[in-house]
Amino acid sequence: MATEAADFDSTQSYKDPKEPVSCLTDSPRHRRRRVHALLSSKRASFHFLLPEPPQRLLTFEEAPKWMQQNSCIRSGYRPELGSFRACVRSLTFPHNELLNCWTHLIPSVSCLVVLLLGAIYLFELSPLPSHALIPPTTPALDPSSWRAAITPVYPFPGPHQPTITLIDTAVFAGLVAGAGVCFALSAAYHCGLAHSERVCSRARRADHLGILFAGSMRFLCSFHYGFYCDVKLRNLYSFLMFVACCIGVYVIVLSDRLQAYEYRKLRTGVFIGIGSLALVPFSHGVLRYGATSLRMSFGWLAVELLCVGLGSICYSERLPEALFPDSGLFDLVGHSHMWFHLLAVAAVLAQYGGATEGFRAVHGIDGRAAAVCIKSG
């Protein structure tokens, strides 16, 4: 009888997940438990794609204090790993930071490849007698050569593009390098978030530094082509944005007090404020050259500002998970930080689109026609 009673109790405690849940037990607490059990069990939705987590994933209440950054993400937290190797290994199993890592890791590697190929090609074009890392067995513009794939990405000086200088190459390389560094530091931060509180704090500062570096490279590129015929204005606005970014580095990166979680919106506001300062030179460009000036690339600037604005709203207001705070629907996929990352990548693509439009307005489509600057007065 005791055995039968035990079997009866265990049968009663088991519930088929396919059976409908009654309204009496479908409370937020029960939903959180079901989602957490799904993430931690061998029947997790990602187990057929990725390896199982080596350790049990934690709920928000169980996670270390420094990882409790978003109370609307209820589960999927990694425990304190204390090892960089374990952090890197966590890129292979599902948790609530996995997509935050990969959405910026892939773009950062892409930027690194573009920079490496560009450096090799530029080294081959140099006039030094013994320089080639790769023997130039094929013409630079041969469609079968890898050089034909890299030349449309950013310009190189040469006989076929007589108006292009190394400054143009450096401007585009800086834009790609800024994006690559920003994405790499962001991916490193989200990957090492579970290492320890000390590593998390330092990685967060590096993440913020990467954002400021990418912004400064973006503005230098815009000012170079936007004020191509006004060297003094170009240098003035470039210097002012450099000073603004230095102030941002001090407030956001170097200040120990402002690293606390309660200053999250303040840090976001500083980022937005530095970006808003760029409206001054762009507004000056509208008054000076007109709203249709291709050198200023106002259309691409509007797309970039839209992406940055939407991403900032998602990040600061915790959308969409804040609309369903107890459901756990966005613990792994679709949470605010994932959208923030994707919109950041879209903003970088818009930056590149604006840079190419400014380049074509100055050098022509094929880099053979230099812009004619007419002095006023």
Q: Give the pLDDT confidence of 181-204 residue by residue, as tens digits.
A: 999 999 999 999 999 999 998 999
Going by pLDDT thresholds of 50, 70 and 90, the confidence category of residue 55 is: confident
According to the model, what pLDDT value does residue 48 have? 43
Q: Does some domain include residue 63?
A: no
Cβ proximity of 193 and 200 under 8 Å: yes
pLDDT over 70 percentage in the chain: 75
Residue 22 in this model has a pLDDT that exceeds 50: no
Q: Does some domain include residue 20?
A: no
Identify the CATH number of the domain in which residue 112 sits: 1.20.1070
341 is in an annotated binding site: yes
Q: Does some domain include residue 164?
A: yes
Alpha carbon 339 to chain centroid distance? Answer: 10
Greatest mean pLDDT range, 122-131, 215-224, 358-367: 215-224
**Candidate from 73-82, 119-128, 244-253, 311-320 with smallest mean pLDDT:** 119-128
Q: Does some domain include residue 269?
A: yes
According to the model, what pLDDT value does residue 282 have? 86
According to the model, what pLDDT value does residue 283 have? 87
Going by pLDDT thresholds of 50, 70 and 90, the confidence category of residue 127 is: low
Q: Please give the average per-residue pLDDT across 214-223, as a whole number.
A: 91
Label residue 128 exposed, middle or buried (CB < 10 Å: 0-12, 13-18, 19+).
Answer: exposed
Residue 214 in this model has a pLDDT that exceeds 90: yes
Q: Does some domain include residue 178?
A: yes
Cβ proximity of 331 and 96 under 8 Å: yes
Closest-CA residue to 344 (of 183, 197, 146): 183
Quick one: tokens of 236? 């003035």
The position carrying tokens 């500083």 is: 270
Phi then psi dihedrals of residue 296, to 5 deg: -85, -20
Q: Does some domain include residue 234?
A: yes
| Residues 6+ away with beta carbon under 8 Å from 171 | 220, 221, 224, 225, 355
Residue 14 in this model has a pLDDT that exceeds 50: no
According to the model, what pLDDT value does residue 373 have? 67
Residue 109 in this model has a pLDDT that exceeds 90: yes
Q: Does some domain include residue 76?
A: no
More confident residue, 299 or 26: 299
According to the model, what pLDDT value does residue 362 have? 86
For the CA atoms of 231, 234, 238, 241, the dihedral, rounded to the nearest 10 degrees, stands at 150
131 is in an annotated binding site: no
**Average pLDDT of the chain?**
79
Going by pLDDT thresholds of 50, 70 and 90, the confidence category of residue 321 is: very high
Cβ proximity of 165 and 157 under 8 Å: yes
- What are the beta bridge partners of residue 161? 158
Q: Please give the average per-residue pLDDT across 203-220, as a whole number.
A: 91
Going by pLDDT thresholds of 50, 70 and 90, the confidence category of residue 335 is: very high
More confident residue, 144 or 326: 326
CA–CA dist 19, 290 (Å, integer):
65
Q: Does some domain include residue 150?
A: yes
Label residue 241 exposed, middle or buried (CB < 10 Å: 0-12, 13-18, 19+).
Answer: buried
Going by pLDDT thresholds of 50, 70 and 90, the confidence category of residue 54 is: low
According to the model, what pLDDT value does residue 16 have? 44
Domain count within the chain: 1
According to the model, what pLDDT value does residue 122 have? 78
According to the model, what pLDDT value does residue 31 have? 63
Host domain of residue 137: 98-363
